[in-house]
Amino acid sequence: MTSTLQRPETVPLGAARPQRATRFSSFTLVSWVAAAVVVAFIVYPVGRAFIGELGMELPAVVEVLTSSRTLEVLRNAVVAVAAGGALAFLIGAVLAWINVRTDARMGWAAEALPLMPLFVPAIAGSIGWVFLATPEAGFLNYWLRKLLALVGVHLQTGPLDIFTWPGLVFVYALYLTPYAYLAISSGLQSLDPALEEAAQVSGCGPVQTLFRVTLPNLKPALGAAVLQLITIGFALFSVPVVIGTSAQIEVLPVSIVHAVTRKYPPDLITALSMSLVLITIVVVSWLVERRIVAKGRFARIGGRGARAALVTMGRWKLPARLFVLGYLGATSVLPFLALLLVSFQGFWTPQVDFGALTGDNYVDLWNRLSVRRGITNSLLLALMTATITTLLSALLAYLSYRRRSFLGRVVDGVIKVPAAISHIVVGIAFLVAFAGPPFRWNGTLLLLVTTYVVIFLPQASFYANSAIQQIGPEMREAAEVSGARDWRVFLRVILPLMAPSLVAGWSLLFILSAGEINASAMLAGPGSPVVGQAILDLWTSGTFPLLAALSVVITAVSTTVVLTVLALGGRPNSGNAP
């Protein structure tokens, strides 16, 4: 043991490190090649689309940007995102506070319940709310009219109408809330409880503590939540195309997709010009968020390892839990039940005859080759996207962790660029770059999977970077001292330690990929149908029972796969873990 302890003195530190740094292993080569490929697949399509295509069409770009049509759909998008995002921010903040800081949290379910809406694809959930709140045939409206008739109020339609501005904003809020919740709950978990305790000892009441201590120290998390809501809200296509189009409210993302899919040849100049507006909105929002965060220092993680004392809700405990369950019902349970009910009907009607319910729609669904291929393709794409992005993010996170260089930081920054760009914009960029010669990938699964990987790589990198930062250098150094080479260290030491966070990230990516429609609405072709596009086609043709059956199938399969993976792989450590 003595000789082991003295070994660092016998081998000069300055001599050992250069030897380790100059050893260029196959792992290092593969890592840098992977990084170069990822950077190329991000930089080339964006550069080709916005510099190569728009650079020579500046007058046309100005004409599109100043047209009354663009200004109208931009105004509609701003109103929908601002109102829906504000409501989602409020709901997400309340849910985060209940689940992190109060005794109303419901154990392990507290972490899962606010995220359950992600299990139902947004387009399926939107259609579920159409089945619930259409003025004439909505299930909720039918039952409400029955109840109102008992007290002498007789209505022919309504009282709810999903095809209005309030209906559109309501559904926007439901499906934006999980993103606000994730950012705010993470900030609450990281906030040092000593700050709030010191304020209370100094005589501050709960309200003063909230506004003078908690909220100021949550500015980074709150800013991140607002930025997420803006980025995702302006990229949302499924909700406005289902509800907004029927309400004659067209928003910017829908106009961009229609410029590509409803015109021949595709009007790429209009689509790219409108996409510039989306990029500008996100960049300006990001700059504002960074400026707010830069105004102060936020020491959120304390060194005592203590947890904040939970707020005792008393008689408000049951209402708080009912609020959480009510949100779950509005976003997941009610829309799914509506889809399930319509899927067993011969035609959509609010007057349910349980004796006439049939499973013929599922048989018909299976007999349709295009739909069957769409389900298979979507699950295959989800599996490939989640696996490739998870492994790539783990590899690049470890490369950046081992090689703390300027080039490593550049790579890490570039792979996060798609997070600041709408999925629709990325889809258009890949369509411009790879659909035509010399690649000719138009309508292929290869085009879809590469686009999906680029779109979802930032989310995967967040999970991977979080996991790698929790692994101390001692583990890697011990393996290297034992003679393990780079590949063995990565596969036998680093990857298993990252596994819980990577499994959680894989699960989220699988769900998002299986129901992706923003990019696939433009990229999927007759030879590569996907579920999102199939649902949209069935919605357009008015084949509601088949549409409901397809939505139920993809939701059930995605949920089963994710729950199985989480059960086998375990859950990541929560911020509340001791």
- Could you read off the pLDDT of 5-28 as tens digits, one per residue? 444 444 444 444 444 444 557 777
Average pLDDT value for residue range 439-465: 86
572 pLDDT band (50/70/90 cuts)? very low
- Could you read off the pLDDT of 79-95 as tens digits, one per residue? 999 999 999 999 988 88
Of all residues in the chain, what percent carry a pLDDT higher than 70? 81
Residue 90: other Cβ atoms inside 10 A: 13
The CATH architecture to which 64-342 belongs is Orthogonal Bundle (1.10)
Residue 411 sits at the vertex; the CA angle it makes with 487 and 523, to the nearest 5 degrees, is 100
User: Helix, strand or coil for residue 383?
Assistant: helix
- Could you read off the pLDDT of 161-212 as tens digits, one per residue? 999 999 999 999 988 988 888 778 877 776 666 766 676 677 776 666 667 7
- Could you read off the pLDDT of 267-289 as tens digits, one per residue? 888 888 888 888 888 778 777 76
Q: What residue segments make up the domains of the chain, in order of their start?
A: 26-56+359-572, 64-342
- Compute CA 379 distance to the chain's CA centroid, rounded to the nearest angstrom: 17
Of all residues in the chain, what percent carry a pLDDT higher than 90? 16
300 pLDDT band (50/70/90 cuts)? very low
- CATH number for the domain whose boundaries are 26-56+359-572: 1.10.3720.10
Residue 337: per-residue pLDDT: 92
Read off φ and ψ for residue 176, nearest 5 degrees: -95, -20
- Could you read off the pLDDT of 119-132 as tens digits, one per residue? 777 888 889 999 99
Tokens of 53: 């295509």
Output 217 or 506, whichever has higher pLDDT: 506
Read off φ and ψ for residue 159, nearest 5 degrees: -80, -10
- Evaluate the omega torsion of the peptide bond into residue 438 and state whether it is cis, within 30 degrees of 0: yes
**CB environment 308-331: b (16+ within 10 A), e (fewer):** beeeebeeeeeebbebbeebbebb
- Could you read off the pLDDT of 218-265 as tens digits, one per residue? 777 788 788 878 888 888 888 999 999 888 999 988 898 888 888 778
Range from 39-53, 150-164, 534-548, 555-569 carrying the lowest mean pLDDT:
555-569
